[in-house]
Structure 1
Amino acid sequence: MIAEIGQFALILAFAIALIQSVLTLVGLKLGDPVIHSYARAGALAQFVLLVAAFACLTLLFAVSDFSALVVAENSHTDKPLIYKLTGVWGNHEGSMLLWAVILTAYTAALAMVAKPVEARLISLTFAIQSLITAAFTAFLVFTSNPFSRLFPAPENGQDLNPLLQDPGLASHPPMLYAGYVGFSITFAFAVAALIEGRVDARWARIVRPWALAAWTFLTIGIALGASWAYYELGWGGWWAWDPVENASLMPWLAGTAFIHSLRVMEKRDTLKAWSILLALLTFSLSLAGTFLVRSGVITSVHAFAVDPTRGVFILAILVAVIGGSLALFALRAGHLRPTGVFSIVSRESTLLVNNLFIGAACFLVFFGTFYPLFVTTVSDETITVGAPFYNATFNPLMGVLFILVPISGKLAWKRGKLGRILRLLTPAAMAALAAALLAFWIADRTRIAGALGTGLAAWIAIGVLIDLAQRIKLFDQPFAASMARARNLPLGIWGMIVAHFGLAVTVFAITGVSAWKQEASAFLMPGQSMQMGG
């Protein structure tokens, strides 16, 4: 009975999503003034129904109802409750249901905070979100039903994949999906803005919090996954340039560029077309990652082995989303005229360069991920693109980009003074040189990469601290007054400072585990021991 209730809720959510998207678009076309309230109610109804479906599936796992096929294949009576519950999304069907729940959670959140003054834009956004929800609930209903029955029911289940029996399963996938799916809202806003023909600083202010939320969740999800893979034997370490790992990195890179582009658009009302394109591409790359994981076209420790029908269905969604949105962009982009102007030496220019570097890095990851698939499709040859390719292309590109981080944060909008900024950052340059020389001397004089990485991390970290010190006038007034200024800094400034300082920590951590790692192979008999690194 529980499975049937969940199945009914899932089908009803699909029907409401489909009907709402059509009625909202028709109502907007006819100028119906009450269509916004209908759209809001429909968004909340979809969320409630999918939460109910997810609760039913969770209950099936909790009580070990092996008459449900997905429970029989991914659970066991003797497992601790945490692994029964996390097993809900430790499989294809359950994880896609979680995806749909998070998708409607974002739509419901928008329904709760949306202001009536933006009713038409919000209603269009609801319609687009509902179309996406309808596509994924149809995928669940017709190809990946999590409530399929198994008769006769076995006495016990096949158990959850041993590699997934880890506390990391409780946090990593939900955070990752919250990041992936969160960019659907910015995608929907971008499509709605293109339809409306209104892309301006006000639009950027509306969209930026949603982009930041999705990017934050995706960042946390990637970090949790890297931590899990670091201690899980057989997963290739914290980062192995696995295609599925790359699938999360691509939208993260595009999302990073998008956030910076939105900042320029919000302050200077420029980079309009570029910001819209990034919004479209970021969610498209999220869908591309879903296709990689669910289609079975790649072999990965992270991928789900699924039948080709599912891959074709997701590919159809991917083609519709990318093709439709890019076609609309091609038709409307010419009308997105920038109004702000800026000099070559300005924060806008450095953020534009930032976007170009990140875009190039994203393309390299995309090429390295999909080129082997292309070669396999057009020929019988099988190739792999691994760490040597990325070390030779991606890493140097990001290294140059990271050098610009402290400089960009200090330049003024519209027109900056580069000489003054370089003088302010002299202590950071000296600290970076000292850190690099120290790492070169202490660690291993043959490992230049370790010294460069350490120096780069110090350059970013000290540069961020100098920026903070100047903002709170740390050396120009009493300490108490500086602390008062620190408390009054805008939340966005603190977010930038924390993110950039976190980047410095990440660069140093990557340097440590990459340049200074030690590897050895040995056969040990019972009672024998081996010492390394000390």
Structure 2
Amino acid sequence: MIVELGHYALVLALALAIAGGTLPFYGALRGDERLMAIAPSTTIMQFVFVAFSFAALTHAYLVSDFSVLNVVENSHSLKPLLYKITGVWGNHEGSMLLWVLILALFGALVALFGNNLPLKLKALVLSVQAWIGVAFLTFILATSNPFIRLLNPPVEGNDLNPVLQDIGLAVHPPLLYLGYVGCSISFAFAIAALIDGRIDAAWARWVRPWTLTAWLFLTLGIAMGSYWAYYELGWGGWWFWDPVENASFMPWLAATALLHSAIVMEKREALKIWTILLAILTFSLSLLGTFLVRSGVLTSVHAFATDPTRGIFILCILCLFIGGGLALFALRAGTLSQGGLFAPISREGALVFNNLMLTAACATVLVGTLYPLALEALTGEKISVGAPFFNMTFGPLMVPLLIAVPFGPFLAWKRGDIIAVGERLLFAFGAAVLVVVIGLALMGFSAAMSLLGLALAVWLMVGAASEIAFRIKLFRAPLMESWRRGVGLPRSAWGTAVAHFGLGVTLLGIIASTAWNTEIITTMKPGDTVTIGSRTLTMDGFLPVSGGTYRGTAVRFTLRQGGAVVTTLEPEKRLYTVQNTPTTEASIKTFGFSQLYVSLGDIGADGATTVRIYWKTLITLIWLGAMVMAGGAALSLSDRRLRVGAPKPARRAAPATAVPAE
């Protein structure tokens, strides 16, 4: 009965989405406040019904209701509780329901916390959001119903893809979807503004927190997915330029550009056309990622390869919203005013440069991702575009951008003094040069390129710290005065500096783990020892392992330094018996910010085992930096100024009229 109620709740949610998309929109066009006031209530109730539907599907997984086809295909009664829950979104139908749940959640949040929005703008935003919900609810009910019953249910289920039975999959998809789907709010704001004709500094301030929220979750989602692939797939890499990885990375690049563009629009009412276009393109790239993952055009561990009917349906949704959004933008772009003028050397100029580089980088990733698909569709020829292409195209675009990042916050609006900014960044420049000099002295010129990468990371981190030090007059004023200035500094300023610092931390981890990674691939038997730097790794023997729906073998290794035992590692080879699928579970030990990574290959009948051993220098900084960037975004979100509209220019007081004396 609960399953049927969950299905029915989806139908009711669709009806509410149609009402919420139609009536408030009509009211906004006619100026009818009563119809516009319907939008919040329909949006909130739509979320309630979708949430109930999602809870009903989750209940079916928890009780192992094998009369539901979706549960049969993706669960098993012996599966641990956590993986029963993650199985809800570990498949196409369930993940689409999660997608719509988050879409409805963001709409409900705007309805509840958008009280500072003008009634007409709020009604239009929620109407656009509702029509997106209509499209995807129709898609689920027509092609991807997760509540299909079986007349003759089996006794047991088929289990979830073993690679997805991991704690990372309990966290990665929800985070990623919060970022993906969160971009829909920026899109809704852009379409509403184009319809309403009101695009000003207040609009930019209203859209910033929603974009920042989506960017925050997208950052965490990408980082979590990267770490999951690193430890779960057993290959020791943290990024593969997989098309599905790129599908989440492209909206992140576009959202980053949108955030910076919205700042210019808020402060100077400039870049209006560019900001609106970026808001449309960011969500368009999110929809493109949804299409790539679910159309069956990609084969990836991340992808839900499904039948072409679903792919065509999503392609129609993609064309409708992308094409419709861009068509409306083309019609309205000519009516947008130019905004404030500024010199090339200014904060606006730095942000424009930032946007150009990010957009070009996004276009590069887009071409590298879609070109093989387009070529195969047109000619039947299959090619692979991998890391060499992206490293040669994406990397050179990022270098000038990263060099410019510390300059932006120091430059004044409208017209800046590049020489004065250079003086304020002398300490950061000196620290970067010092890294190169010391590195060359220790490692020689063969490591010059890697040292330049480290210098760039230090330049970013020290540059971000220098911005805060300058603003609070650190060492130039009494300590208590600097403290008071720091406390009074806007949280958005702190957030920007923290996010830029986190970018430097991530870059430091990327450079160090790439340049000074040690890899050993060898065959070992019990008693054999391998030397890794100043440590030795000894293979002790085999241990049987089992749990849930798998059984397998672990190999115990002992790590010693100077004869003393440091730690033990137990990588595993598992066989998931239901699907008869083998997996490799790496064993990882962290030392400071570096890691020792041990993964197993084939195990021979005589005990000879292929072993992959990696020493990953400072690799944890990659994900730590992403967390710092997300922390900077959260700090900016706590700034009260982002919760209110932009201040209105004060009107000049009318001159007093002389009153004749009586």
Check whether TM > 0.5.
yes
Contact 1:72 1:157 in 2 (8 A): yes
Look up the SS of the partner of 2:17 in the other structure. Answer: helix
Deviation at 1:126, TM superposition (A): 0.8
Contact 1:440 1:450 in 2 (8 A): no
Deviation at 1:526, TM superposition (A): 3.7
Q: Which residue of 1 aligns with 2:301?
A: 301
Deviation at 1:424, TM superposition (A): 1.3
Q: Which residue of 1 aligns with 2:263?
A: 263
Q: Which residue of 2 aligns with 1:314?
A: 314
Residue 173 of structure 1 aligns with an amino acid whose one-letter code is: P
Look up the SS of the partner of 1:519 in the other structure. Answer: strand
Deviation at 1:23, TM superposition (A): 1.8
Deviations 1:34-82 (A, max 9, x none): 1222111100011000000010011111111111111111111111111
Q: Which residue of 2 aligns with 1:3?
A: 3
Q: Which residue of 1 aligns with 2:604?
A: none
Look up the SS of the partner of 1:514 in the other structure. Answer: helix
Deviations 1:212-263 (A, max 9, x none): 1110110011111111111122567211000000001100000000000000
Deviates more, 1:515-524 or 1:346-355: 515-524
The answer on 1:461 being equivalent to 2:461 is: yes
RMSD: 1.4
Look up the SS of the partner of 1:523 in the other structure. Answer: strand
Deviations 1:258-304 (A, max 9, x none): 00000000000000000000000000000000111111101212111
Contact 1:449 1:515 in 2 (8 A): no
Q: Where does 1:324-473 land on structure 2 (aligned, <5 Å)?
A: 324-442=324-442, 445-473=445-473
Q: Which residue of 2 aligns with 1:56?
A: 56
Contact 1:435 1:454 in 2 (8 A): yes
1:441–1:59 CA distance, 2 compared to 1 (3 A): farther
Q: Which residue of 1 aligns with 2:496?
A: 496
Distance 2:363 2:279 in 1: 16
Contact 1:439 1:454 in 2 (8 A): no
Deviation at 1:339, TM superposition (A): 2.3
Q: Where does 1:220-235 land on structure 2 (aligned, <5 Å)?
A: 220-234=220-234
Look up the SS of the partner of 2:343 in the other structure. Answer: coil
Deviates more, 1:5-14 or 1:470-479: 470-479
Contact 1:443 1:516 in 2 (8 A): no
The answer on 1:176 being equivalent to 2:176 is: yes
Distance 1:58 1:124 in 2: 33
Contact 1:293 1:302 in 2 (8 A): yes
Look up the SS of the partner of 2:520 in the other structure. Answer: coil
Deviation at 1:441, TM superposition (A): 4.4
Distance 1:448 1:111 in 2: 54
Distance 1:2 1:449 in 2: 61
Distance 2:436 2:93 in 1: 49
Residue 473 of structure 2 aligns with an amino acid whose one-letter code is: K
Q: Where does 1:147-296 land on structure 2 (aligned, <5 Å)?
A: 147-234=147-234, 237-296=237-296
Distance 2:343 2:482 in 1: 32
Look up the SS of the partner of 2:523 in the other structure. Answer: coil
Residue 241 of structure 2 aligns with an amino acid whose one-letter code is: W
Distance 1:60 1:533 in 2: 52
Contact 2:19 2:42 in 1 (8 A): no
The answer on 1:475 being equivalent to 2:475 is: yes
Q: Which residue of 2 aligns with 1:46?
A: 46
Q: Which runs of 5+ in 2 are unaligned?
A: 535-662
Distance 2:125 2:235 in 1: 39
1:79–1:424 CA distance, 2 compared to 1 (3 A): same
Deviation at 1:396, TM superposition (A): 1.4
Residue 504 of structure 1 aligns with an amino acid whose one-letter code is: G
Distance 1:213 1:314 in 2: 25
Distance 2:407 2:29 in 1: 48
Q: Which residue of 2 aligns with 1:77?
A: 77
Identity, % of aligned positions: 54
Contact 2:6 2:54 in 1 (8 A): yes
Q: Give the TM-score of the pair, scaled to structure 2.
A: 0.79
1:444–1:138 CA distance, 2 compared to 1 (3 A): farther
Contact 1:235 1:301 in 2 (8 A): no
Look up the SS of the partner of 2:522 in the other structure. Answer: coil
Deviation at 1:341, TM superposition (A): 1.1
Distance 2:168 2:419 in 1: 48
Deviation at 1:149, TM superposition (A): 1.2
Look up the SS of the partner of 2:118 in the other structure. Answer: helix
Distance 2:135 2:5 in 1: 21
1:443–1:229 CA distance, 2 compared to 1 (3 A): farther
Residue 293 of structure 2 aligns with an amino acid whose one-letter code is: V
Which structure is higher in helix share?
1
Deviations 1:99-154 (A, max 9, x none): 10000100000001122660001101111000000111111111111111123111
Deviation at 1:158, TM superposition (A): 1.1
Contact 1:102 1:181 in 2 (8 A): yes
Residue 73 of structure 2 aligns with an amino acid whose one-letter code is: E
Contact 2:14 2:138 in 1 (8 A): yes
Residue 386 of structure 2 aligns with an amino acid whose one-letter code is: G
- Specify the structure having the higher radius of gyration (Cα): 2
Q: Which residue of 2 aligns with 1:513?
A: 513
Deviation at 1:175, TM superposition (A): 0.6
Contact 1:24 1:35 in 2 (8 A): yes
Q: Which residue of 2 aligns with 1:24?
A: 24
Q: Which residue of 2 aligns with 1:14?
A: 14
